[in-house]
Amino acid sequence: MNEIAPHISKDVFVEILQDKDIIHSDDLLIFQTIYSLDKQEASATELARIIGWTDKNGVVGRVVGLGKRILKKYDIRQREREDGTKVLWDFFFTGYDKGNYFIYKLKPELRDALEECGLTENIKPINNQNTFLFAWNPDNWVWKDLEQNIEELNNTGKLTLKWSCISHTKVRPGDRAFLVRLGIAPKGIIGSGTVISEPFLSPHWGEKNKDVPRVLIEFDILLDANNESVLPLDYIKNKIPSQNWTPQSSGISIKNEVIDALEKEWFDFLSTNNTRLNPFSDTIDNSKKFIEGSATQVTQTRYERNIYARNECLKHYGYTCSVCGFNFEKFYGNLGYKFIHVHHLTEIANIRKAYEVNPIEDLRPVCPNCHAMLHKQNPALTIEELKELIT
């Protein structure tokens, strides 16, 4: 294949977007939809689903058609496959494989042209990460090593488990996962994490010679309902009644319109009620043994990585490092779009009491280098102290 990627400048894209003989309304709809997504990337299947078209062919066909119309008017060298056909989608996107899908990522020149032409002013952000509700019923399966799993998570900050998923045709690596305890009281949400594998078949927990689809979930939170509070099922059903919180099968989709509310309720619950995330509150069981420093470090990391807290912080402060002023998108272009770490200003170890985190007051965006330097010593440097060091 000819690997020379085509380049269209922002100014040429502006001409194209204003040329009604080249650009059609459906073409703009594809670009505006992918522009609205959190990372400005999606598969053709996702784009079709969001727009409301039957399948991905509606997206692929329109992208190819637009590419052909551009070639009739502009002399732009285009990549070719081994059979001599032209690769037309990379006028507009870079791309990569993700599991069984090919992901289109909007080129920065096209994004800038859309903004300059006023075609993005009324676009509301869309999150194309799906969220799934996984279920555990102690009546059906005894989780014998739950305490050991929780200890592993609290000591290392990481726990990976496989879980059955009825929505195996939809779930993908990177999707959000919540775990609800059903059957025996206390019932409620006991965990959250991220799907990190494609679905695979695995033996059924209770039936011989039967396989079920499962995924690997990397948990960031896991609670023991018998020893600590959980987010009550009755409470969440009352706050978000439009979602099914008692599924017959594990791994159902959570509706897009309730995801933000769920993340906020989960964050508020964890930051105010859960002793595992407030290790120095008066009610903590001090007999618990942790690797030195890890309880504080894991707690702090969870606040920094929490989806709700991170989003609220970055909505307020943006994606420029609060220490050195580095912006990944300005330096790396589209590759660095919306990339940044989030830093917790107050070390949990210094609070020594139950503590409610405020994402805007307590978190700041920092680049990975500055984030590492802030934590290079104990206690951590403040942002102001690190600023003084580098100036």
Given a contact cutoff of 8 angstroms between Cβ atoms, the answer to whether 319 and 328 are in contact is yes
Query: Which residue stretches of 42-107 are H helix?
Result: 44-51, 57-73
Predicted local distance difference test score (pLDDT) of residue 388? 92
Contacts of residue 177, defined as CB under 8 A and 6 or more positions apart, other chains included, come to 131, 132, 134, 163, 192, 193, 194, 195, 217, 219
Interval 248-279: pLDDT, tens: 999 999 998 899 899 989 988 887 764 454 33
Task: For 278-391, give the CATH class.
Answer: alpha beta
> Residue 342 and residue 309: Cα distance in Å, rounded?
9
Predicted local distance difference test score (pLDDT) of residue 54? 81
Interval 308-321: pLDDT, tens: 888 889 889 999 99
The third-level CATH classification (topology) of the domain covering 129-257 is: ph1033 like fold (3.10.590)
The segments of the chain whose pLDDT lies below 70 read: 1-6, 124-128, 273-305, 334, 347-357
Please provide the CATH number assigned to the domain covering 10-116. 1.10.10.10
Predicted local distance difference test score (pLDDT) of residue 331? 86
Domains of the chain, by residue range, sit at 10-116, 129-257, 278-391
Polymer length of the chain? 391
Helix (H), strand (E) at residue 316:
helix 307-317
Question: pTM above the 0.85 mark?
Answer: no
Predicted local distance difference test score (pLDDT) of residue 24? 94
Predicted local distance difference test score (pLDDT) of residue 128? 61
SS3 40: coil
Given a contact cutoff of 8 angstroms between Cβ atoms, the answer to whether 125 and 191 are in contact is no
